[in-house]
Amino acid sequence: MWQELLIELQAGNRKALARAISLVENAHEGYYDFLKQLPNAHTNVIGITGPPGAGKSTLVDALIAALTAQSKKVGVLCVDPSSPFNLGALLGDRIRMNEWYTHPDVFIRSLATRGSLGGLHPKIIEITDVMKAAGFDHIIVETVGVGQSEIEIAGLADTTVVVVVPEAGDEVQTMKAGLMEIADIFVVNKADRPDADMFVRNLRLMMAPAFQTAKHEIAIVKTVASRKEGTNELYAALLAHQHVAKQNERKFWLLAERAYHIIQQDRMKDIDKAVLKKSIAAQYNDQFNLYALIEQFQ
Ligand SMILES: Nc1nc2c(ncn2[C@@H]2O[C@H](COP(=O)(O)OP(=O)(O)O)[C@@H](O)[C@H]2O)c(=O)[nH]1
Ligand SMILES: [Mg+2]
């Protein structure tokens, strides 16, 4: 039933790709059968994550320019940040990347987060796998690195780039446990700021223990994304990491993360935080007990 769509998207038909993504994004009937037909494609997925405002979108934009200059085909997924209190997605990324929407070698899709478990789109892994079938040289996924989404991005990407900025000294300390662990490459963006070199030194010191146990070197690349500076160095670091990403042990770990996440999503699909909140509000009184309420949902 889905064979034709798959053949078209594999042939590079972008409309077919967009249709296939919508099929999966909206979990239309039969989408799982479509997923089961996907070939085992080996496109390297580059995850770009980091705090809001670090310059991730600007960096992705600069990276697209560097890659297309080398005639590479690039697919990009942007997961727009949205606050749990306000589910509207920001349109900034869309507007900024306008010039790429008509480029024949570039495909960009923005996904709104829908208050999923870790803040990423609930079907992000599946949609990335659809993108993998479409014959891109590189797939870039931009996500905001907050909370649980770090684990998701690690399961999603073969190479995880963590973007930080020079002034974020304290933030880097507190993010250490999450973002630091998943970084295959660090980008210190906004290197036009005066403290950039000192920050890079501090980051190296801070990462020294991790560098010793890591099986591969974790590159630190300085960029000024808004001036497209440092993108070639970043590209070199990405290529250098590709052979590491393809090692089987790591690959299987990533696939296990993906499988775990998809199973988790499936088991949680009937649980809606808004419904939980409504039930809590309706039942809240002096005798309220959260665990008794939870039982109603299990
Ligand atoms: N000074 C400076 N500003 C930058 C640089 N890269 C991005 N910015 C600015 O930082 C702001 C946030 O960038 P954006 O790409 O939207 O960050 P994101 O939230 O991580 O995607 C924007 O105003 C950018 O123009 C840089 O290298 N230097
Ligand atoms: Mg952004």
- CATH classification of the domain holding 169: 3.40.50.300
- Note whether residue 267 is domain-resident: no
Alpha carbon distance 19, 127 (integer Å): 11
- Ligand 1 center–CA 294 separation, angstroms: 42
pLDDT at residue 14, as a whole number:
93
pLDDT at residue 113, as a whole number:
65
pLDDT at residue 287, as a whole number:
94
- Strand order across the beta sheet in which 106-112 lies: 106-112, 74-80, 138-142, 45-49, 159-164, 185-188, 219-222
pLDDT at residue 85, as a whole number:
37
Ligand 1 pocket member 39 (CB < 6 A): no
- Ligand 2 center–CA 59 separation, angstroms: 9
Mutation to probe ligand 1, out of 58, 164, 189, 193 (largest number of atoms < 8 A from CB): 58
Ligand number nearest CA of 94 is 2
Alpha carbon distance 233, 104 (integer Å): 25
Ligand 1 pocket member 192 (CB < 6 A): yes
Structure letter (DSSP) for residue 159 = E
Domain that holds residue 161: 39-250
Residues 6+ apart with CB under 8 A from 111: 25, 77, 78, 79, 80, 121, 124, 127
- Say whether both 10 and 43 belong to one domain: no
- Say whether both 141 and 23 belong to one domain: no
Q: How many domains are there within the chain?
A: 2
Ligand 1 pocket member 189 (CB < 6 A): yes
Ligand number nearest CA of 190 is 1
On the 0-12 / 13-18 / 19+ scale of CB atoms within 10 A, 290 is exposed
- Ligand 2 center–CA 74 separation, angstroms: 17
- Say whether both 238 and 136 belong to one domain: yes
- Say whether both 14 and 145 belong to one domain: no
- Note whether residue 278 is domain-resident: no
- Say whether both 8 and 119 belong to one domain: no
Give, in order, the Cα–Cα distances in Å from 28 to each of 21, 76, 224, 272, 278.
10, 22, 41, 19, 27
Q: What is the pLDDT of residues 186-213, one digit of tens each?
A: 999 999 998 899 888 888 888 777 666 6
Q: What is the pLDDT of residues 217-236, one digit of tens each?
A: 789 999 999 999 999 999 99
Alpha carbon distance 207, 272 (integer Å): 39
- Say whether both 138 and 118 belong to one domain: yes
- The closest-lying atom of ligand 1 relative to the alpha carbon of residue 81 is 19
- Say whether both 10 and 63 belong to one domain: no
Ligand 1 pocket member 224 (CB < 6 A): yes
The residue whose C-alpha atom lies closest to atom 3 belonging to ligand 1 is 190
Alpha carbon distance 180, 167 (integer Å): 16
The residue whose C-alpha atom lies closest to atom 7 belonging to ligand 1 is 55
Ligand 1 pocket member 188 (CB < 6 A): no
Spans of the chain, pLDDT less than 50: 82-92, 116-118
- Say whether both 108 and 134 belong to one domain: yes
pLDDT at residue 17, as a whole number:
96
pLDDT at residue 154, as a whole number:
72
Q: What is the C-alpha end-to-end distance of the chain, expressed in Å?
A: 35
- Say whether both 44 and 182 belong to one domain: yes
- Say whether both 6 and 143 belong to one domain: no
Ligand 1 pocket member 222 (CB < 6 A): no
pLDDT at residue 96, as a whole number:
57
On the 0-12 / 13-18 / 19+ scale of CB atoms within 10 A, 232 is middle
